[in-house]
Amino acid sequence: MQIGTITLANNLVFAPLAGISNLPLRLLAKEAGCGLVYSEMVSANGLVYGAAKTHQLMNSTPEEKPLAIQIFGSDPTMMADAAQIAASAGADMVDINFGCAVKKIVKTGAGVALMRTPDRAAALLRAVRDAIRVPLTIKIRSGWERGGEQAFDLLRIAEASGVDAVAIHPRSASQGFRGQADWSLITALKAATTLPVIGNGDVQCAEDAVRMLSQTGCDAVMIGRAAIGNPFIFGEILELLAGRRPVPADAAARLRIMRRYVVDSVNYLGERPACLMMRSRLGWFVKGLHGCSAFRESIKKLESLEQALERIDGYEKVLMDAARNYSGMATL
């Protein structure tokens, strides 16, 4: 899979997820086999005005490369400056958000609002393209309203503006995350454009990803929600694509990545913010395991790295005891 000058190891992509796809989680996705990771969406205004928290969203390490940094905004000059800042900070690609349907963003003319203002979208893409040398990608929805006409218009503009690839989440702005992603629109858009197409929306398991590739003809698959807490999905898709039957991750593997997530979060975010974040997030990794509710309860007041690792050790013991007692039922 080639995007502009960048060759990806494979065609599996971890989606941008605001407030979620931070560096520690992206590293897990990468380690599990994902070929390209996206940052959370980053405010162009925040970058240009030097907001420290906004700049932190671009923190990266060599192990997660290549990294696409996604920026959002509606002013062409501001977006061009922000794209330059992102490229200087080490973005291997810059992505522009044409899909966010959150009111606060849409109100400013950014995100999916750009899909109903094609002249502004064209000016913005031209300005950003002129400002950076790294590949430029866009992530779009089907449009403001159902139907998808705006997606076809935008792809024509993108081709003419030197965009290198497009990720498509085929739901309209008004749908939010309701209903089903309309994969037939990915098929139609792929047939209508020369750009590499990254299909996205409702891939929940490895089989879905393979089905999306074969059914729509898209060049790559982007996964968001299903990879949160389950980065193993990327390895499972690679197995399936190689003609092998994927072996689901067992409890030992899940505990291993949890420990890694905890340590990386403390290293990259600082102990206090990492602990506050982990209070709700460690629960992602134990979904469906024996005793997961009690474990979730036990991490609600995490205060330190040491405590987090202790809770995970304790939970491992619970799982091992359960495995001894109920051999055949438990997975450890």
Ligand X SMILES: Cc1cc2nc3c(=O)[nH]c(=O)nc-3n(C[C@H](O)[C@H](O)[C@H](O)COP(=O)(O)O)c2cc1C
Q: Which is nearer to ligand X, 20 or 274 (CB)?
A: 20
Task: Provide, rounded to whole angstroms, the least separation between the CB of residue 43 and ligand X.
Answer: 11
Q: Which is nearer to ligand X, 206 or 223 (CB)?
A: 223
- Binds ligand X (CB under 6 A): choice among 116, 146, 225, 260: 225
Half-sphere exposure of 122 (CA within 13 A, CB side): 10
- Binds ligand X (CB under 6 A): choice among 20, 47, 113, 212: 20
Distance of CA 257 to the CA centre of its chain: 18
In angstroms, rounded to a whole number, what is the distance separating the alpha carbons of residues 116 and 113?
A: 6
Distance of CA 265 to the CA centre of its chain: 17
**Phi, psi (deg, nearest 5) at residue 23:** -55, -50
Region near ligand X per CB under 6 A, out of 1-9, 16-24, 75-83, 295-303: 16-24
Determine the 3-state secondary structure of 229 from DSSP: coil
Region near ligand X per CB under 6 A, out of 49-57, 156-164, 182-190, 218-226: 218-226
Task: Provide, rounded to whole angstroms, the least separation between the CB of residue 197 and ligand X.
Answer: 14
135 binds ligand X (CB under 6 A): no
Task: Provide, rounded to whole angstroms, the least separation between the CB of residue 221 and ligand X.
Answer: 9
Distance of CA 295 to the CA centre of its chain: 26
> CA–CA distance from 11 to each of 34, 58, 131, 221, 245 (Å)?
8, 23, 27, 6, 19
Task: Provide, rounded to whole angstroms, the least separation between the CB of residue 303 and ligand X.
Answer: 26
Residues in contact with ligand X, counted by CB under 6 A, come to a total of: 21
Report whether the peptide linkage leading into residue 135 is cis, meaning its omega lies within 30 degrees of zero. no
Q: Which is nearer to ligand X, 171 or 254 (CB)?
A: 171
Residue closest to ligand X when measured from CB atoms: 224
Q: What mask, x for binding ligand X by CB under 6 A, covers residues 48 to 87?
A: ----------------------x-----------------
* 218 is known as an active-site residue: no
Residues 6+ apart with CB under 8 A from 285: 229, 254, 255, 257, 258, 261
DSSP label of 226: G
Contact by Cβ (8 Å): 71, 44: yes
In angstroms, rounded to a whole number, what is the distance separating the alpha carbons of residues 5 and 95?
A: 15
165 binds ligand X (CB under 6 A): no
Catalytic site positions: 100
**Residues making contact with ligand X (CB under 6 A):** 15-18, 20, 40-41, 70, 97, 99-100, 139, 169, 200-203, 223-226
